[in-house]
Amino acid sequence: MRAVFAVAVWIFGLILGLRAQTQAPGTDCPSGASTPQTDGAKATIEPHREVIAVTGTYTPIPVENIDRSLDIIDTRENSLLYDHWVDYLHADPSIDLRQRGPNDVQADLSIRGSTFGQTLVLLNGLRLNDAQTGHHNMDQPIPTPSLERIEVLRGAGSSFYGSDAVGGSVNFITGPPKYSEIRAGTAIGNFGINQQTASAALVRGHWDEQIGIERDFSSGFRPDRDYRNFSAFSNSGLQTALGHSLVMLAYSDKPFGADQFYGDFNSWERTKAWFAGLEQDLGNNTQFDLGYRRHTDVFILFRDNPTFFSNDHISESWQAAIRRKQPLRRNSTLFYGAEGFHDSVDSTNLGIHQRSREAIYVDYDTRALGRFSFSLAGREEFYGAGQSEFSPTVSAGAYLKAGWKLKSSVSHAFRLPSYTDLYYHDPGNVGNPNLRPEKSWNYEGGLEWNQGGRYKANITVFHRRDREVIDYLLDTTTTPSIYRAANIQNLNFTGIETSIDIRLPHTQIVQLAYTGLYGAQQPLANQQTKYTFNYPTHDALVTWQGMLPGKFTARSRVGVVTRYQQDPYALWDFSIGREFRNVRAHLSLANISDTQYEEISGVIMPGRSVIFGVEFLLRAKPH
């Protein structure tokens, strides 16, 4: 019935769209695009600068017009103060980076207490999650110089993106370049750190090209924790009479020592990733997307005895989508489309498997009186033998007065088990081919205050009800004990997010942010889980950034984290840089207090690190 309902709404919307075109030819006013810039709310609210968002919405709109919790991180602003794009994610206390090493060395990312498998990672709106295992959600072939910004949608996103977007979604946005330029940088540090970056951009009329390369090497802060990361990315854009075309190509190769990563083993692992993507406008209101991803994972349980136990996984995934927006009247827009996905795995451990799924969606978005906004979306995703999942989202917002906005949303999400969840087996872990998909309902309400961009504050209260959560439970009936994949019936999370941004003279910015989380779960008969109960209950940070005498730019971040049933720990990072005419120099200090801590139980993180680097820049004058 839900599938029939979705198809009926889709066809009905198409008919309405055609009538609207007939009655008002030439009217193309996507909700949140041009109208909010001229309505009463926009006239009375003057943000520091207008930022356009593409995550959690079907069309690019100003971020203040989105009625969901969305964070936009500009990775090109003061980029000399950040060594890697992972550093930017530390600015959001609702993001939990459960790292096994610096940068993106096998890090698990989660949002609002979710597991890593419940977080969806995107590149320009195309899915990057690995079908083999959710552990690879930060193993992405994206060099830092290629990024323009990172958009973080907190809360369910299955109405927009389908499976996996339970706790939230992270969308990496690239280009286009603003200038023709060449950059080359190098850095060194303790623990044998040796880094190189290079990028080149060319802008010529309706065509632009950007290439980025990044290499990150370390001999390790302890035995079997060395790594050698390499990634390359190409971003090609072309504007024609048909519309804008974007072609993306990416590659990465990352071998690393994995001591204690998956248990009491001195393991070793090597992952490689290939990605190709196409975004093609078909006129003003239609877009076609196509993506391909291949990921390989070679795992050796004992590095000093590789013949004892090893795995070789190869996963591939295809995705395609056709999307359309249809203005209905001045402040209302209908969005609808269809998507298809296919993934497969060829593994010495998991076997050979493949699966396909399809989805259709529709969304109605309207705004009234320059003050109120409302969105109703629904997505039906078909998978397996006649199985499907319906994911609706309802969101609304209202400007109470100049600078004050109230917003709320209710949304549903789900996640299909990965191939590792279903079929994996080793001496300490066993999958379960009978696992059921996870399901979740998200509720949130928040208040935003923005005084011209100089002062900004927000507070959001959220609640998530998860069912059939996939995790590993410790089976003590075997010798030795092993973890078995299972569905946990009921997990409820309630939390609060709050932040204050203050812009001071001399381009100084102070940010205070806090996320608190309380989890309640159905009793598990004292069973020990592997991943679910490692979430932060309190995460607070204070960040300062500004200019110092001598034209130096500096940034300081102090964060305090308390994880479930663990002692709190504090981390202090500091970086400083100076720009000259064609040279930029920077010094970064991480974990200055040399805190001994673990973000994943049993995996010790590095102590104090110091990195010094320089970058050379040649930039052409803008045309």
Cα separation, 319 vs 127, in Å, equals 8
Other Cβ atoms less than 10 A from the Cβ of 304: the count is: 9
pLDDT at 32: 34
pLDDT at 239: 94
Q: What secondary structure letter does DSSP report for 529? A: B
CA distances 101 to 194, 269, 452, 598, Å, are 15, 13, 39, 10
pLDDT at 526: 67
CA distances 505 to 21, 47, 509, 548, Å, are 50, 17, 9, 12
pLDDT at 56: 86
Contact 411, 394 (CB under 8 A): yes
Tokens of 536: 């932060």
- For 35, the domain range is 2-176+223-489
Query: Is residue 616 situated within a structural domain?
Result: no
Contact 344, 353 (CB under 8 A): yes
pLDDT at 525: 57
**Closest Cα to residue 427, out of 302, 534, 531, 269?**
302
Query: Is residue 586 situated within a structural domain?
Result: no
Tokens of 510: 């102070």
Query: Is residue 10 situated within a structural domain?
Result: yes
Other Cβ atoms less than 10 A from the Cβ of 519: the count is: 17
Cα separation, 110 vs 117, in Å, equals 8
pLDDT at 509: 93
Query: Is residue 11 situated within a structural domain?
Result: yes
Question: For residue 195, what is the enclosing H or E element?
Answer: strand 193-204
Cα-only R_g, the chain: 24
Burial class of residue 366 (count of CB atoms within 10 Å of its CB; 0-12, 13-18, 19+): middle
Contact 155, 515 (CB under 8 A): no
Burial class of residue 254 (count of CB atoms within 10 Å of its CB; 0-12, 13-18, 19+): buried
For strands 168-174 and 95-98, give the pairing: unpaired
Residue 423 in 3-state DSSP? helix
Question: Domain total for the chain?
Answer: 1
Q: What secondary structure letter does DSSP report for 622? A: P
Burial class of residue 351 (count of CB atoms within 10 Å of its CB; 0-12, 13-18, 19+): exposed
**Closest Cα to residue 617, out of 571, 585, 576?**
585
Q: Mapped to the 3 state alphabet, what secondary structure does 408-467 carry?
A: EEEEEEEECCCHHHHHCEECCEECCCCCCCEEEEEEEEEEEEEECCCEEEEEEEEEEEEE
Q: Measure CA of the first residue to CA of the last residue in the chain; give whole Å.
A: 56
Query: Is residue 353 situated within a structural domain?
Result: yes
Residue 161 in 3-state DSSP? helix
pLDDT at 28: 34
Tell me the mean pLDDT per 10 residues along the chain, length 623. 40 36 35 34 43 85 87 89 91 89 79 92 94 87 93 94 94 91 96 95 94 95 94 96 95 94 89 97 95 96 91 96 92 95 96 96 90 94 92 95 93 96 91 96 96 89 95 88 90 95 89 94 72 92 94 96 93 95 95 92 91 94 63
Query: Is residue 511 situated within a structural domain?
Result: no
CA dihedral sign of residues 497, 498, 503, 508:
negative
Cα separation, 312 vs 315, in Å, equals 10
CATH number at residue 304: 2.40.170
Query: Is residue 327 situated within a structural domain?
Result: yes
DSSP-assigned states of every residue in 199-237: EEEEEETTEEEEEEEEEEEE--SSTT--EEEEEEEEEEE
Query: Is residue 130 situated within a structural domain?
Result: yes
pLDDT at 248: 97
Q: Could you tell me which residues come within 8 angstroms of residue 614 by beta carbon, excluding any fewer than 6 positions away?
A: 185, 186, 187, 583, 584, 585, 586
Cα separation, 559 vs 310, in Å, equals 38
Burial class of residue 313 (count of CB atoms within 10 Å of its CB; 0-12, 13-18, 19+): buried
DSSP-assigned states of every residue in 283-328: SSSEEEEEEEEEEEEEEES-TT-TTTSEEEEEEEEEEEEEEEEEEE
